[in-house]
Chain A
């Protein structure tokens, strides 16, 4: 049975990699399982200058029209950390972007974790700008649905990309298609939302274990397992609404393809949660106490698995073994 399941996952993974990613599937749903591009020179698009200042802050505060650093513009920038808590900056992590035309942009983080690029990002003629409850369709169609006027190519909101951060085999994809500028036209940075002290936590990637060590037996949910889940599985598997934003015409097509990137799973609350209309199941729905290695929480988080959130650890890694042990001990809320 285990072999069948493994083969099934591999088949799915192969199917995913066989997908051609082009403008026809440039949307959150179309790119949900896209693995990070490979075959390019890592860091080929690093921006000029040293950039050793204001690590972790929103770069767009100064590097914007009328700002203190107006003369030093970029298309995308941010700071990379080794963990979601932002306890340690990460040097040498890779930040990969791919735009609508398939161009791959690759940056690496410097000694204070900062990264930035001047590489142009293709404009999506079918871009939609959505922020909160407001939505602005930036293109114009005629009565037959033919494109009459593309979204303005000089509007930063149309510069859209799919993103990943990567360190070794550890890869964190972004679950949506992101714009380079916001609804106010201001340039956006990863740090705007993925700040150390922000709601989504730091932008992070690392194959390192969450805790320095784990006991071989008698693992505690609160002390050993919840830290793994909170560090690795948020901000996707959290309580409340987790729908992708509508940013392309494909997202708006009937039926709308905004989807719940948590897949109805709240790993921050042991029992699952009900917040408004968002009912989500908890950790027990993705563990198999009788056959721990068969647990979804393990099978979907290793390299080669089909998981929108990417790969976190290899079989045999400390976090993997801790989870497996805890599941085998009954997956208790202890």
Chain B
């Protein structure tokens, strides 16, 4: 056996070892167990790949694909991009098969609209917080893509005024119960009036059988009672009436509007308000399969350590069912939340990993969270690279199943996405 072969084999062994990330035992971090993959386009330096991501069958081949946002990708005349990783039974390629370039920081947010026309190819929406349109410059835009081998733009939604950051956040749900998905877009720096300067607005584009989404949106502006909206959104049925409801973070509170055939929150006002004094309450919001609501307060102090984070579980009537403290290490527990079956995945993007500090961690809770639950009962996935922000987004790949997690600040803000096998 030649020396070169031995050296190459050793290098290969070391490289494959470096990309192996293990799922730790409950309450413990560190390598052991199933392996993961690392997805990245290294040539897009400083692009924040992994800022957001969604799972859907884009190309209609029956396998789930990954669409990843890279909002700071720079190209000739472009700013922002979407990376498409086609899924296959064997997994995902380490590099994307397709790069959809855009402008205005395209790829800051993503949402799946599903297969709207029954051809097996999913539609999706991508936010560009500084995008421009024929209607308004620098207001932010959301581009609707129709799935395919090469997804095609079918519509561009626009914010109202420059620097509104329309498209900062996205959510999809059937708020009016007509069987069609509605797209909800946050514009957290919109000014409904001088007195409400930069207090935000949320726009609901109802589904339409002919045009996919109605062109005119229902606007939910900030009010003097509820401002600071547009940063964090979620949908789901919390009152059990079969229609999705809309939940918004609003300056330390989460306000909920029940879905209705004539959904119009600006007229009806909120149906429920979740209130909590923890800093960052509402940073992440998720409606669970049982209709309960999970809310992250990522800046809550724990044992005197600020920005450690806390997670709350409420029922649909607003009663608190559980409170889970993050580790007292400034980890921002509650940065992102993803329902995983009856359980929950919760990220802490600044938590200390093994061996490096401030890598990020993901906590996997099995089953419903009840009073008395702690992070010690969770299986832990710890980041292995300093300052990677592991868990900036979380998405479930049913095939496996696997958990996709963004690490957008890894490698001088180039970013990566990691896939972890789930038990």
Contact = CB atoms under 8 A, between A and B. Distances in A.
B98 interface: no
A275 interface: yes
A231 B188 contact: no
Contact of B188 (A86, A197, A240): A197
Given A197-B165, A223-B136, A112 B412 contact: yes
Interface string A103-142: 0000000011000000000000000000000000000000
Given A53-B409, A222-B136, A85 B195 contact: no
B194 A273 contact: yes
Does more than half of chain A's interface fall in helix, strand or loop, or is it mixed? loop
Contacts of B168: 197
B136 A211 contact: no
Given A112-B413, A239-B197, A226 B358 contact: no
Interface residues of B, number: 39
A266 B138 contact: no
A52 B357 contact: no
Interface in A225-260: 226-227, 230-231, 234, 238-240
A62 interface: yes
A239 B137 contact: no
A224 B137 contact: yes
A268 B194 contact: yes
A274 B197 CA distance: 12
A75 interface: no
Given A67-B330, A227-B162, A85 B129 contact: yes
A66, A223, A240 — most chain B CB neighbours (10 Å)? A223
A132 B207 CA distance: 45
B105 interface: yes
B413 A55 contact: yes
B194 A269 contact: yes
A61 B307 contact: yes
A240 B194 contact: yes
B194 A266 contact: yes
B104, B307, B386, B413 — most chain A CB neighbours (10 Å)? B413
Contacts of A223: 135-137
Contacts of A276: 195
B46 A112 contact: yes
A3 interface: no
Interface string A67-81: 111000000000000
A211 B330 contact: no
Contacts of A210: 138
A102 B344 CA distance: 56
Contacts, number: 98
A54 B195 contact: no
Contact of B138 (A88, A199, A231): A231
B161 interface: yes
Given A85-B129, A87-B105, A68 B307 contact: no
A222 B133 CA distance: 12
A201 interface: yes
Contacts of B409: 53-55
B163 A85 contact: yes
Contacts of A194: none
Contact of B412 (A67, A88, A111): A111
B130 A85 contact: yes
B195 A211 contact: no
A54, A68, A224 — most chain B CB neighbours (10 Å)? A68
B195 A240 contact: yes
Contacts of A83: 130
Nearest to B164: A230
Interface in A210-226: 210-211, 222-224, 226
A209 B134 CA distance: 19
Does more than half of chain B's interface fall in helix, strand or loop, or is it mixed? loop
Contacts of A224: 137
Contacts of A230: 138, 161-163
A97 interface: no
A68 B352 contact: yes
A111 B46 contact: yes
Contact of A53 (B105, B138, B188, B386): B386
B197 A240 contact: yes
B243 interface: no
Contact of A231 (B105, B163, B352): B163
A273 B138 CA distance: 23
A300 B168 CA distance: 34
A135 to B, nearest CB: 24
Contacts of A157: none
A89 interface: yes
A84 interface: yes
B195 A68 contact: no
Interface string B112-148: 0000000000000000011010011110000000000
Contact of B46 (A85, A89, A266, A268): A89
Interface in A295-329: none
Nearest to B168: A197
B162 A231 contact: yes
Contacts of A88: 72, 74, 79
A83 to B, nearest CB: 8
A87 B130 contact: yes
Contacts of B188: 197
B249 interface: no
B160 to A, nearest CB: 9
Interface in A266-295: 266, 268-269, 273-276
Given A62-B358, A211-B138, A223-B136, A54 B194 contact: no
A69 B330 CA distance: 11
B61 to A, nearest CB: 35
Nearest to A186: B306
B137 A227 contact: yes
Interface of B: 46, 72, 74, 79, 104-105, 129-130, 132, 135-138, 161-163, 165, 168, 188, 191, 194-195, 197-198, 231, 305-307, 329-330, 350, 352, 357-358, 386-387, 409, 412-413
| A-B complex: 7 closest residue pairs judged by Cβ atoms | A273-B194, A239-B194, A227-B162, A53-B387, A52-B412, A87-B130, A85-B130
Given A55-B409, A201-B163, A239-B195, 14 more contacts: A54-B387, A61-B330, A68-B357, A85-B129, A85-B163, A87-B104, A112-B412, A112-B413, A197-B188, A210-B138, A223-B137, A227-B163, A230-B163, A268-B197
Interface of A: 52-55, 61-62, 66-69, 83-89, 111-112, 197, 199, 201, 210-211, 222-224, 226-227, 230-231, 234, 238-240, 266, 268-269, 273-276
5 contacts: A52-B412, A54-B409, A61-B350, A69-B358, A87-B105
